[in-house]
Amino acid sequence: MEIAVPPPKPSAAGPDRKGRRNPLDCLIVALDLPSADAAMDLADQLQGTCRWLKVGMELYYAAGSPVIERLRERGFQVFLDLKLHDIPNTVAGAVRSVAGAGASLLTLHAAGGAAMMRAAAEAASVPGAPRLLAVTVLTSMDGPQLAAVGVPDPPETQVLRLARLAAAAGIDGLICSAEEVAAVRQAMGPDALLVVPGIRPATDGPAATDDQRRIATPGEAIARGASMLVVGRPITQAADPGAAAAAILDQIRLS
């Protein structure tokens, strides 16, 4: 049964003449960096080849909400990836605390349960609050690792279970790997906002997987139904981050 998920707000660019999204609206570069200065330097190198930047726990804990404002002043949209996971009252309070920081997207763990996600969704219902994305199963985990923490089902089964739970709780979108995104797209419908991390360019070999387990190329992920892709080290550790981002945009454009 298809479960309706609230559609994402339209991007500033909108679709092209063939109805496809602008590749700039599909790429999120992960600023997994230890300081605001490092993040600003990298952001400057990405001007023109990136519209979305991800601020994760490492950067946010080092620099706080002001880093979001600085990135917004440079014209970027911010995806705040805090993966909130606690009792409902605490998570709702955290959502309220960052609601005015200027981020457009904010993550929480679907494994926190329906009550937690409903509390977060209510806290995010105020004007200017970010859209909420529920993390299903981390891309660093595979079947054996899930089993080790008491989940006997394969990743796809667990991802779909948590995706349905999040949709029913009023969460705006989902984080899943490229291995499950086709099944999630089929279950959630064409308007669901599905964000896929664990992306590795087609030119990278097996050694470039780092600590990720469930990965795909940009073209594969988009073809399977991803709305947006999160790319970190293949861009941020490249000799020319802007050129690396442009190459990934080309792969998205050709998908």
pLDDT at position 1 over 70: no
148 within a domain of the structure (yes/no): yes
Q: What is the pLDDT of residue 13?
A: 37
> What CATH number does residue 157 fall under?
3.20.20.70
Q: What is the pLDDT of residue 140?
A: 87
For 68-88, what is the mean pLDDT? 98
First to last CA, the chain: 28
pLDDT at position 146 over 60: yes
Calculated CA dihedral for residues 246, 186, 83, 89, nearest 10 degrees: 150
More confident residue, 214 or 65: 65
List pLDDT tens digits, range 202-237: 764 544 445 555 678 999 999 999 999 999 999 999
**CB-based contacts of 12, cutoff 8 Å, min separation 6:** none
The domain tally of the chain equals: 1
- Model pTM score: 0.88
Exposed, middle or buried by CB within 10 Å (0-12, 13-18, 19+), for 151? Answer: middle
Task: Give the structural domain span for 103.
Answer: 27-254
The pLDDT confidence band at residue 147, using thresholds 50, 70 and 90, is very high
Active site residues: 83
pLDDT at position 177 over 90: yes
143 within a domain of the structure (yes/no): yes
